[in-house]
Structure 1
Amino acid sequence: MASTVDEAAAPAGRAARRRDRRKVEMIAAALQILSSSGYQGMRFEDVAERTDIAKATLYHYFPSKDALVSAALEKLTTDVMTRLGEALDAAADRSATDQLRTLVTEQLHVLTVLYPEVGKLFSFPAPWPDEHSEAIKTMRRRHDQIFRDVIDRGITAREFDCPDPSVALHCLHGILNHASIWLRPDADPDNRTRDAVVDAALRLFLRA
């Protein structure tokens, strides 16, 4: 009896993995289209074509465009926050300067390797429906708080000389988002340009 159950479970497990992979492909395509065309320019037809599936199949996974956009933003938020949190945990016993360098480096990795389309998406934001604009605001607040906690720690420890942390944080994100548009990892194999961007970003906070 156990063998029969195992045999039945194996195809079901493979089918579930296929569904998960297909959803990941759809979400990745949605993020790419959102970055290039904005919310208004994103169409189900474009996502279906880019993932090489029928539009009807796309509706089977996501009943509406907004459901797909919500899933894309949720995955993006989860992935980015998880990576930044893990990077910060690995540097927990180091100085605030080292922690900020770690966060900035990981953020550049996210923007240039994992999600190269996100820099455009958030550097040049287009109008969003209320349900998504609130989700994006929440994402930004959570994201900024990780950086702000380290910056505040550095100011308290007198590692950072930052009269207006909020302005400096906005400038930091401006540097990172725009760097992600022109910084190509394949043209920077030894990470020299990436490291130069990180050094420039940290100068917003370091004491002279």
Structure 2
Amino acid sequence: MDAVSERTASGRVARRRDRRKAEIVRTATELLSVSGYQGMSLEEVAERTDIAKATLYHYFSSKDELVAAALESLTQEVLRRLSERQETAGPDASPEELLRALVDEQILILTETAPEVATVFSWPRTWPKVFEVPMKGMRRRHDAVFRRVIERGIAEGAFDCADIDVALQCLHGILNQSSVWLRPDAGRKTRAAIVDCALRLFA
């Protein structure tokens, strides 16, 4: 086999491995959203992905490593969707328009497009200590998306906010509670009403 053929074959193997790894992470995320950390087992992940448990260890050395990958995957997906929503708003969007778009998108994520985000991150008491620092980091990265828009709004005089930290905590409280009581089919009008209420924190 020549060098080009070897690289092609190696690339195929790497892509298959990446696809299988992504499938394992998706399955772990589904189980976490239903059963939490304590209820998720590597045995069930292996069974649902139709691989031997021993094979699973070729991809992840432990349950904690797999769970960490699932949490990071969820975080990246949320950040990606928020970034895309900001881009959709356009470069000339005002801070209020950007914040309105971000809040609306976050509600959509939590209630319709990725409800597992709300479920997985709502079990803080059942997570082992090893996840405390990584999860705080994930929350900070998420918080930073909203914080940047709010800080810009304050600097430009669009927002009036005495304590940005308190306001952000209240904002996240509104968003997290929306996943508890808002029906997935509530519709744009209901989301808009929640967004209006949330933005009053910065009026």
CA distance in 1, matches of 2:21, 2:176: 26
1:193 pairs with 2:195: no
Distance 1:66 1:123, change over 3 A: closer
Deviation of the 1:204 alpha carbon:
2.2
- What TM-score, normalized by structure 2, do the two folds share? 0.82
Q: 2:102·2:146 contact (CA, 8 Å) conserved in 1? A: yes
- The amino acid of 1:194's aligned partner reads R
Who is 2:27 aligned against?
Answer: 29
1:112 pairs with 2:111: yes
Q: 2:36·2:123 contact (CA, 8 Å) conserved in 1? A: no
CA distance in 2, matches of 1:81, 1:65: 24
SS in 2 for 1:163: coil
CA distance in 1, matches of 2:64, 2:126: 14
- 4+ runs deviating over 6 angstroms: none
What is the aligned length?
Answer: 202
Who is 1:176 aligned against?
Answer: 175
Deviation of the 1:134 alpha carbon:
0.7
Deviation of the 1:119 alpha carbon:
0.9
Deviation of the 1:172 alpha carbon:
1.4
Alignment of 1:129-208 (within 5 A): 129-185=128-184, 187-188=185-186, 191-206=188-203
Between the aligned residues of both structures, percent identity stands at 57
Residue number among 54, 58, 70 corresponding to 1:72 in the alignment: 70
Structure 2 residues not aligned, in runs of 5+:
none
CA distance in 2, matches of 1:53, 1:59: 10
CA distance in 1, matches of 2:195, 2:9: 47
CA deviation string 1:28-84 (max 9, x = no partner): 222232233332332111222333333222222112111101211222222222332
Please provide the CA RMSD for this pair: 2.7
CA distance in 1, matches of 2:137, 2:113: 21
Deviation of the 1:23 alpha carbon:
1.8
Deviation of the 1:24 alpha carbon:
1.8
Distance 1:193 1:57, change over 3 A: farther
Residue number among 41, 44, 62 corresponding to 2:42 in the alignment: 44
CA distance in 2, matches of 1:28, 1:195: 31
Deviation of the 1:100 alpha carbon:
0.4
Who is 1:58 aligned against?
Answer: 56
